[in-house]
Amino acid sequence: MRKVTEAGIDVSKDVLDVAVRRDERRLETARFANDATGHRKLIGWLTKGGRTVRVVLESTGTYSLDVALALHRARGVSVMVANPRAIKQFTGALMQRSKTDLTAAVALRDFVIRMPFVAWAPPAAPVLELRGIARRIAALVVERTRERNRLHALHATTETSRIVCNDIEVNVRHLERRIELLSAQAIELIGQRPKLQTAFDLLVSVPGIATHSAIQLLPELLVLPETMTVRQWVAHAGLDPRAHQSGTSVDKPARISKVGNAHIRRALYMPALVAVQHDAHVRAFFEKLVARGKTPLQAYVAVMRKLLHAIYGMLTTRTTFVAAKFHAAA
């Protein structure tokens, strides 16, 4: 039986630091460029001599995606994309005194040996394309908000430059056109794929989720493995409550972990606010929590979490949102 070699890869924007132990005595390290050529060299180095390799790397968004795809397609290579929080807690348990790219790669190599290996399954190409568009829209919306805030600040002063104000107004209009164009392209992409269109139609049946929020949510949810449970969805979104208790002296209120996909949390926040305002069942759930002593913010987060539960059920059963199942209205 061919022996499996374990490797850890620390991913950064430009380089990949790799640590692998091919035998019990010698730890090998190497560095490769984080581009297509570097990925080919990395795979050749890992599999030289016909070795079978298990690789773990940390999820770092766009920087880790291409190398994860290249490793997944390579013969003799299995890849795991680990949650950054899990890696941080693991390295903390190792009591590392220093942090460099090389020590991070070595820690990742130890992680793949000691922890359960969960092979990564890449999402479909159209979903990845849609996620790229959605995240670009989100970035442009943030920039538009910043420009509007700058314009508001200028109008609040007596020493306002008409030239600067005009420039900001032009940029805001330009950002709005780009957001509209990308949104239209996202809708076109969704319409070309029946599976995406079906899921999109289900999402917009939820009170508070309109076209923009559905574009933001859809690809973030569809890239998740179909085997994930709804509790894993909630944890992935960082909406799971985390207690902080120790003995009798430390008992802090539970807070959401925020360890996970911030894009999902951001995309659910406004729909939760709108749903509370316009849907009687959602509002009844919100008011019940407030009556129990929850702050409004805590109640809104609970609505976000319950909406995510509802969306999971809708996408699983291919059914539209049913408000009465969300919560019984008074």
pLDDT tens digits, one per residue of 31-62: 999 999 999 999 999 998 888 888 988 876 66
Note the pLDDT tens digit of each residue in 280-316.
999 999 999 999 999 999 999 999 999 999 999 999 9
Percentage of the chain exceeding pLDDT 90: 54
Residue 95: its pLDDT value, please? Answer: 58
Q: Which two tokens stand for residue 177?
A: 């056109």
Closest CA to 105 of 234, 9, 249, 203: 9
Residue 127 has pLDDT above 70, yes or no: yes
pTM over 0.85: no
Beta bridge partners of 17: 10, 31
Residue 88: its pLDDT value, please? Answer: 72
Residue 1 has pLDDT above 80, yes or no: no
Q: Are 58 and 10 in contact (CB under 8 A)?
A: yes
Domain boundary assignment for the chain: 4-114, 125-192, 221-244+254-326
Instruction: Report the C-alpha gap between 57 and 115 in whole angstroms.
Output: 13
Alpha helices (runs of H) in the chain, residue ranges in sequence order: 36-46, 62-73, 84-93, 101-114, 125-155, 162-191, 194-203, 211-222, 230-236, 262-278, 280-291, 296-317, 323-326
Residue 51: its pLDDT value, please? Answer: 85
Mean pLDDT across the chain, nearest whole number? 86
Residue 94: its pLDDT value, please? Answer: 66
Q: Provide CB contacts within 8 A for 163, sequence distance 6+.
A: none
Beta bridge partners of 53: 5, 77
Q: Provide CB contacts within 8 A for 39, sequence distance 6+.
A: 32, 66, 67, 70, 71
Note the pLDDT tens digit of each residue in 217-268.
999 999 887 777 888 888 888 887 754 444 444 444 556 656 668 899 999 9
Residue 60: its pLDDT value, please? Answer: 67
Return the CATH fold of 4-114: Nucleotidyltransferase; domain 5 (3.30.420)
